[in-house]
């Protein structure tokens, strides 16, 4: 056994469960629940002691029945010892159980339907009459099943489950499997029994009780052994009709994955449920997937089009988990990326299949690909396969490295092997390990067998080591000298940090005039290499289509030539995005100059592709965020540059959203109006105020299309909006029934400019009128608002006890709160302030995101120190600074 495994805090192996029979009775008035369970056990060693997981539940009684004992009578536990720190309970029985026998463990217990969005918890909402109603739902990943029933709550300890719910007779009860019986019990209760589950991990168990409606459809069953799968979207009654878009996605994606993976969807039904209070985006419980409402409900009349993409991708991601994660489960949380990295990649694959006009892989280059690289460029980054020894560490790796760097690596590998070969290897992996557990090496083995390449040999460093390379390219005539070293966002890596030599597929492109007209598969396997180019070529670039996980550091002269190729229309969309992203990251880290980035962006004055503009916006926003406290003429000069870039296009596209527009044009219009507003474009600001007045004062709903409402809220509050405008947006937030419109209004409130309104927005963000899960949207607006950024951090410090008490149980949420509060600062004084504040606090459960945020501050400060004069000189030379 490896040293890594030895250090894991695991349950004893003396007994193992094979089956749970669970009966749960929730009380939606007093917010408690009663539970009873019978667990079938295999006894592996002679023992009289059983230790299992239990957290925040009270065990009332425990007894053991075994025919191997001297009598067949049950034996009650003589001692029940709890260990709150380890979330375990140890049961001691009067007689020893013999090895290689079986027993049944009977436990009666009670628990609390908490409001922390984990375990078995309550969620509230208002019905169409304004009455507050409650439902109960579950969130067990990673280690919260133990809050709902005593269990062996580790992913490798799989069992089958018979689940029974005793619930109010006027509610809907759901679980992983289909209902097999329903019986009235009297006292307004009913007993709902569900079919036995396949063998599965505890974190995938789920049950829900509430007043729910649904829309439904079925797959054809073509790739499911001829058996159609019943698909439903549930939501609080009255909202279910907004599940139609997600329902269509789910039906098509289930068919697609059954075909791609070569394995039928293994359950008879697939339910998806909108939960009003939900910490994450969604959770892949087998056969009963739960979602934040904005990730599944779409109102064609009231919703912003951008939520279509979110819904399509999230549904695809969660359905991918039904195979990759549920059918085959990582054997321990170290291999979380197997679940999340693959589901991310294949989720994009499915969306591309359904919506080819969305150019989803180009969107990936500007979104997920960059997120993975950004977090991975920190010294505090962790490997894709990160050793996890204790359950308290698990939540800290549900981050952009596990999801997006994991997906980046899979995308690179699938491109190198070929998508067909790669998916054939995945089929082999799934077939070999279905209904079981697997590790990263198991995937590499299957892909090696399918491709004939020793995948483990060149992929192990990608998953075992943190970081990724930057390739520096020196040119001597037609010969390239290519050298790799670890890329760090805070500056050049030291020799001690730069000790990994990655396997790097270069993806060499010689432009459209290349007689071979193909991307050349050259692989870098050493620290450096030389590459001889043909004597004639139009231009060259590395990492064509941006499938390799690395940055490219070109000389200023080569970057200029690539800018000319952009002007001539010779670069693909993904390449324009990728080269821009590299130039931005290299400028911020000191490999390049910010003036070079600005000059490169200037070449995009005639750009008309939404996804390229997304990257331009990302790089300019990043610069403006870091320069937010630099001398005002410099900041205004940057705004002037952005204003001149976008103003013509805003005029050309206008403010209306004709139905004939395609999705990307729709999104481009919204983005450019936002960019023009943030750059103080006077025409844009005037039009935003005019439309806002018509919308709020004259009730002209058509004045503000749903796609533009959030943008207009931001512009109006950022440019002269006062109490009246703030109150109008607050009223819209309160009255809107569409969850996504509440989100855009809540974010918009954060753009208030006066100190009084900023304080109102801060206090509102933690009020009872804002769901705990939605504080991130309120804080996102406040963080983006240059005037509110310091007030936000001060508010977090002054209200630390309240914030910690209310949000720290939802650790993913809590980590976002910390990052929003500090990560955009840019001085060593800010580092000292942050470190001083946290010096006397227990930071164990958020140490990683805290250190990542501090490192970001230091990187920002170094960027300003290096390039403040460079930016000033460029602005002056180009007429943006008087």
Res 426: pLDDT: 94
Give yes or no for a contact between 208 and 273, defined as CB atoms under 8 angstroms apart.
yes
Q: In what order do the strands lie in the sheet with 132-139?
A: 119-126, 132-139, 207-210, 172-175
Give the Cα separation of 637 and 882 in Å (integer).
Answer: 8
Q: Is the pLDDT of residue 635 over 90?
A: yes
SS3 content of the chain, % helix, strand, coil (to 5): 45, 20, 35
Alpha-carbon distance of 65 to 21, in angstroms, equals 15
Q: What angle do CA 773, 363, 341 make, to 5 degrees?
A: 65
**Sign of the Cα pseudo-torsion (274, 279, 282, 283, in order):** negative
Share of the chain above pLDDT 70, in %: 97
Q: Which residue has the higher pLDDT, 430 or 385?
A: 430
Looking at residue 810, its pLDDT comes to: 79
Residue 175, beta-bridge partner list: 207
CA separation, residue 21 to residues 37, 38, 106, 395, 464 (Å): 5, 5, 10, 28, 40
Q: How far apart are CA 323 and CA 435, in angstroms?
A: 10
* Average pLDDT score over the chain: 92
Q: Are 776 and 766 in contact (CB under 8 A)?
A: no
Closest of 322, 324, 302 to residue 206, by C-alpha: 322
Residue 825 has pLDDT above 80, yes or no: yes
Which residue ranges form the domains of the chain, and what is each CATH number?
9-210 (2.60.40.1730), 211-323 (1.10.390.10), 328-464 (1.10.390.10), 607-877 (1.25.50.20)
Give the HSE-up count for residue 26: Cα atoms under 13 Å, Cβ half-sphere.
Answer: 31
Across 762-775, average pLDDT = 94
* Residue 135, helix vs strand vs coil: strand
Residue 69 scores a pLDDT above 90: no
With vertex at residue 435, the alpha carbon angle to CA 433 and CA 440, rounded to the nearest 5 degrees, is 40
Bridge partners, residue 472, by sequence: 483, 553
% of the chain at pLDDT higher than 90: 79
**Mind telling me the catalytic residues?**
318
Q: Which residues contact 726 (CB under 8 A, 6 or more apart)?
A: 717, 749, 752, 757, 760, 761
Residue 70 has pLDDT above 80, yes or no: no
Q: What confidence score (pLDDT) does residue 404 get? A: 92
Rounded Cα distance, 180 and 194, in Å: 5
DSSP string, 698-719: S--GGGS-TTTHHHHHHHHHHT
H helices of 543-681, in order, are 556-567, 573-589, 594-602, 610-626, 632-653, 663-678
CB 91 within 8 A of CB 106: no
129 band by pLDDT with thresholds 50, 70 and 90 = confident
pLDDT class of 519 with cuts at 50, 70, 90: low
Nearest Cα to Cα of residue 210 among 237, 180, 247, 242: 237
At 441-489, the pLDDT tens digits run 999 999 999 999 999 998 999 999 999 999 999 998 889 999 999 999 9
Cα–Cα distance for residue pair 176/163, rounded to 1 Å: 9
Cα distances (Å, whole numbers) of residue 269 to 43, 233, 254, 259, 328? 34, 11, 11, 17, 19
In this prediction, residues 309-314 reach a mean pLDDT of: 95
pLDDT score, position 2: 37
Mean pLDDT of all residues in 505-518: 76
How far, in Å, CA of 272 to CA of 214, rounded? 9
pLDDT mean over 631-652: 96
């Amino acid at each position: 056994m490896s040293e890594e495994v030895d250090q894991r805090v695991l349950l004893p192996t003396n007994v193992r469960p094979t089956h749970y029979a669970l009966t749960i009775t929730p009380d939606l008035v007093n917010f408690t629940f009663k539970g009873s369970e019978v667990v079938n056990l295999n006894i592996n060693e002679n023992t009289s002691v059983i230790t299992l997981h239990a957290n925040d539940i009270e065990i009332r009684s425990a007894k053991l029945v075994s025919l191997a004992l001297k009598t067949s009578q049950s034996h009650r536990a003589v001692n029940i010892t709890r260990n709150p720190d380890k979330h375990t309970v140890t049961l001691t029985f009067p007689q020893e159980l013999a090895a290689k026998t079986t027993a049944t463990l009977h436990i009666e217990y009670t628990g609390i339907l908490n409001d922390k969005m984990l375990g078995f918890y309550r969620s509230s909402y208002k019905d169409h009459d304004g009455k507050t109603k409650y439902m109960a739902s579950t969130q067990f990943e990673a280690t919260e099943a133990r809050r709902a029933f005593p269990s062996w709550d580790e992913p490798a300890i799989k069992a089958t489950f018979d689940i029974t719910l005793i619930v109010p007779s006027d509610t809907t009860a759901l679980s992983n499997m289909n209902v097999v019986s329903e019986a009235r019990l009297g006292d307004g209760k009913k007993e709902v029994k569900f079919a036995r589950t396949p063998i599965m991990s505890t974190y995938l168990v789920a049950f829900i009780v509430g007043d729910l409606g649904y829309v439904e459809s079925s797959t054809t069953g073509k790739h499911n052994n001829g058996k159609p799968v019943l698909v439903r979207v549930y939501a609080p009654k009255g909202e279910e009709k907004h599940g139609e878009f997600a329902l269509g996605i789910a039906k098509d994606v289930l068919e697609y994955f059954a075909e791609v993976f070569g394995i039928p969807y293994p359950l008879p039904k697939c339910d998806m449920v909108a939960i009003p209070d939900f910490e994450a985006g969604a959770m892949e419980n087998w056969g009963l997937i739960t979602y934040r409402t904005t990730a599944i409900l779409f109102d064609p009349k009231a919703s912003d089009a951008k939520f279509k993409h979110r819904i399509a991708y999230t549904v695809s991601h969660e359905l991918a988990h039904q195979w990759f994660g549920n059918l085959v489960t990582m054997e321990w949380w170290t291999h979380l990326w197997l679940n999340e990295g693959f589901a991310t990649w294949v989720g994009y694959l499915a969306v591309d299949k359904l919506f080819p006009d969305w150019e989803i892989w180009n969107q990936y280059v500007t979104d997920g690909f960059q997120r993975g690289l950004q977090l991975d460029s920190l010294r505090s980054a962790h490997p894709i396969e990160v050793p996890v020894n204790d359950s308290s560490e698990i939540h800290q790796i549900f981050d952009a490295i596990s999801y997006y760097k994991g997906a980046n690596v899979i995308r690179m590998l699938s491109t190198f092997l070929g998508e067909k070969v790669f998916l054939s290897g995945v089929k082999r992996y799934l077939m070999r390990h279905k209904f079981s557990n697997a590790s990263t090496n198991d995937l590499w083995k299957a892909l090696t067998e399918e491709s004939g390449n020793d995948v483990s040999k060149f992929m192990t460093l990608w998953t075992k080591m943190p970081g990724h390379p930057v390739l520096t390219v020196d040119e001597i005539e037609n010969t390239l000298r290519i050298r790799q070293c670890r890329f760090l966002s805070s500056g050049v890596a030291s020799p001690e940090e730069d000790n990994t030599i990655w396997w790097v597929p270069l993806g060499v492109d010689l432009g459209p005039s290349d007689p071979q007209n193909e991307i050349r598969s050259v692989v870098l396997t050493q620290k450096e290499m030389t590459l001889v180019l043909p004597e004639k070529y139009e231009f060259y670039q590395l990492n064509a289509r941006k499938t390799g996980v690395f940055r490219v550091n070109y000389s200023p002269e080569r970057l200029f030539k690539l800018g000319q190729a952009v002007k001539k229309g010779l670069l693909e969309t993904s390449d324009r995005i990728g080269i821009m992203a590299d130039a931005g990251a290299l400028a911020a880290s000191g490999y390049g100059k910010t003036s070079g980035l600005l000059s490169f962006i200037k070449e995009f004055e005639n750009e008309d592709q939404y996804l390229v503009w997304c990257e331009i916006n990302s790089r300019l926003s990043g610069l403006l965020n870091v320069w937010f406290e630099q001398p005002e003429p410099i900041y205004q000069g940057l705004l002037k540059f952005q204003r001149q870039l976008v103003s013509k296009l805003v005029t050309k596209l206008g403010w209306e959203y004709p139905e004939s527009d395609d999705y990307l044009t729709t999104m481009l219009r919204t983005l450019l109006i936002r960019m023009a507003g943030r750059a103080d474009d006077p025409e844009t600001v005037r039009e935003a105020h005019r439309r806002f007045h018509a919308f709020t004062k004259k009730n002209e709903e058509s004045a503000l299309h749903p796609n533009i409402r959030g943008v207009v809220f931001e512009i109006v509050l950022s440019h002269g909006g006062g109490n009246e405008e703030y109150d109008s947006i607050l009223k819209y937030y309160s009255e809107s029934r569409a969850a996504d419109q509440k989100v855009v209004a809540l974010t918009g409130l954060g753009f208030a400019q006066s100190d009084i309104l900023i304080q109102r927005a801060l206090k509102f963000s933690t009020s009872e009128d804002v769901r705990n899960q939605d504080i991130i949207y309120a804080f996102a607006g406040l963080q983006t608002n240059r005037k509110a950024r310091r007030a936000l951090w001060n508010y977090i410090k002054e209200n630390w006890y309240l914030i910690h008490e209310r949000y720290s149980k939802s650790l993913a949420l809590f980590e976002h709160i910390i990052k929003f509060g500090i990560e955009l600062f840019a001085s060593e004084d800010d580092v000292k302030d942050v470190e001083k504040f946290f010096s006397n606090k227990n930071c164990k459960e958020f140490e990683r995101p805290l250190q990542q945020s501090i490192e970001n501050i230091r990187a920002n400060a170094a960027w300003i120190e290096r390039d403040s004069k460079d930016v000033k000189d460029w602005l002056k030379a180009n007429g943006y600074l008087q």
